[in-house]
Amino acid sequence: MAALEDLVKSFKKKEIKGTYIFYGEEPFFIDYLVDLLIENALEESERSFCQNIFYGRDVQMNSLRDMCMTVPMSFTANPRQLVVVKEAQDCAKKMEPLYRYIEKPLDSTILVLAFKNTKSLDKKMPTKLATVFKSEVFKEKDMPKWIQGEFKNAGYAIQTDAVQTIVEYSGTNLERIHNEIQKLIITHNPEKPITSQDIQQSFGIMKDYAIYDFTAAMGEKNAKTIFKILDFYVKNEKTWPFELLVGILFPFFKTLYQIKLSQRVKMSLQDLAGEIGTSSSALWQLDKQQKYANKYTLAQLENALTTLSEYDMRRKGMTGSSLTYREILFEMVLKIIS
């Protein structure tokens, strides 16, 4: 199984040949590799005649196989062609005619099969001569390192709290984060570290309050600030839908609950970090969350998790609730912090 870093290096060096099979449940890395390969596989002058890009729902497998087995017309000494099938999961059940070619590929053909949202490949698919990459689901605990890497690769430094702002606002939406980073670095001075304020302004996070301010206020049980922020959310419901806020609060209170349990057995900060999957670079955040956990009893944290689940179902109409966005939001939060 090929590593992402190795593939990126080889593609940028234009060391591209043979058959590539990309699959997995994280689509971002699959799209990234396909785009990078297309960018570097052929020279500009070759693309008109030697580059063929298809989508799984439209491709005819026998025709695709015949194309792969044909030496392309080219004015170069070593003619090559690129054949890419995007969204290959849409033709996975009719791909067997291509298997014989994959077992005996032509040196002149670069074949790329990109399967999205796919846990596994067909067991019959021959992969011995292919380069295979599996795009695993990206975990939130790995986000800070990846974000820092994105900025580092672009020649920028980013402050720790700015990384946290990105994670809290965008979660594990890699495509959104990648695109926003690309927009930010166009205008930002590379000699100045990226700050949380830079992120809020560039990512389009609300100017009045970042989501980090909301979770901090909830952690502190600061009712005045909480309801001031909630008023803002109500005025901007499309930007801050109820489902998004529940999706942010649930992991926040789950972490506080885990911290509270660990305090009973006097677990160290480092051991706790390992237990809940927090990286060593984010211990500062865990220390702050411990202080939030101290504001709540274990029963109150259990109540918070139960309340979030209950009101999520109510909002979805599963319990016959007819409350407005404002009513259900205020009622839920009040029940948590009381």
Domain boundary among 86, 121, 137: 137
Q: What HEC string does the chain produce?
A: CCCHHHHHHHHHCCCCCCEEEEEECCHHHHHHHHHHHHHHHCCHHHHHHHEEEEECCCCCHHHHHHHHCCCCCCCCCCCCEEEEEECHHHHHHHCHHHHHHHHCCCCCEEEEEECCCCCCCCCCCCCCCEEEEEECCCCHHHHHHHHHHHHHHCCCCECHHHHHHHHHHHCCCHHHHHHHHHHHHHHCCCCCCECHHHHHHHCCCCCCCCHHHHHHHHHHCCHHHHHHHHHHHHHCCCCCCHHHHHHHHHHHHHHHHHHHHHHHCCCCHHHHHHHHCCCHHHHHHHHHHHHHHCCCCHHHHHHHHHHHHHHHHHHCCCCCCCCCHHHHHHHHHHHHHC
Domain boundary among 82, 115, 137: 137
Residues 237 and 270 in one domain: yes
Residue 9 has what pLDDT? Answer: 94
Residue that is written with structure tokens 């529940």 in the block: 246
Residues 289 and 324 in one domain: yes
Residue 130 is which amino acid? A
Residues 131 and 154 in one domain: no
- Any residues with CB less than 8 A from the CB of 133 and at least 6 apart, and which? 1, 2, 3, 4, 7, 20, 21, 22, 23, 24, 29, 30, 33
Residues 14 and 130 in one domain: yes
What is the tally of structural domains in the chain? Answer: 3
What whole-number distance in Å separates Cα of residue 29 and Cα of residue 142? 14
pTM over 0.75: no
Position 323 pLDDT exceeds 70: yes
Domain boundaries, position 87: 4-137
Residues 196 and 219 in one domain: no
Residues 289 and 326 in one domain: yes
Domain boundary among 137, 170, 189: 137
What whole-number distance in Å separates Cα of residue 286 and Cα of residue 16? 43
Residues 26 and 59 in one domain: yes
Name the nearest CA neighbour of 72 among 101, 48, 103. Answer: 48
Residues 173 and 236 in one domain: no
Residue 282 has what pLDDT? Answer: 55
* pLDDT tens-place string over residues 220-278: 999 988 988 898 888 888 888 899 899 999 989 998 998 888 878 777 767 777 666 66
Residue that is written with structure tokens 């390192």 in the block: 145
Residues 188 and 215 in one domain: no
Residues 87 and 110 in one domain: yes
* pLDDT tens-place string over residues 27-86: 999 999 999 999 999 988 888 889 999 999 999 999 999 999 998 876 666 789 999 999
Q: What is the CATH number of the domain that holds 278?
A: 1.20.272.10
Residues 131 and 10 in one domain: yes
Residues 146 and 132 in one domain: no
* pLDDT tens-place string over residues 214-230: 898 999 999 988 988 89
Q: What is the CATH number of the domain that holds 158?
A: 1.10.8.60
- Any residues with CB less than 8 A from the CB of 160 and at least 6 apart, and which? 144, 281, 282, 284
Residue 105 has what pLDDT? Answer: 95
Residue 44 has what pLDDT? Answer: 87
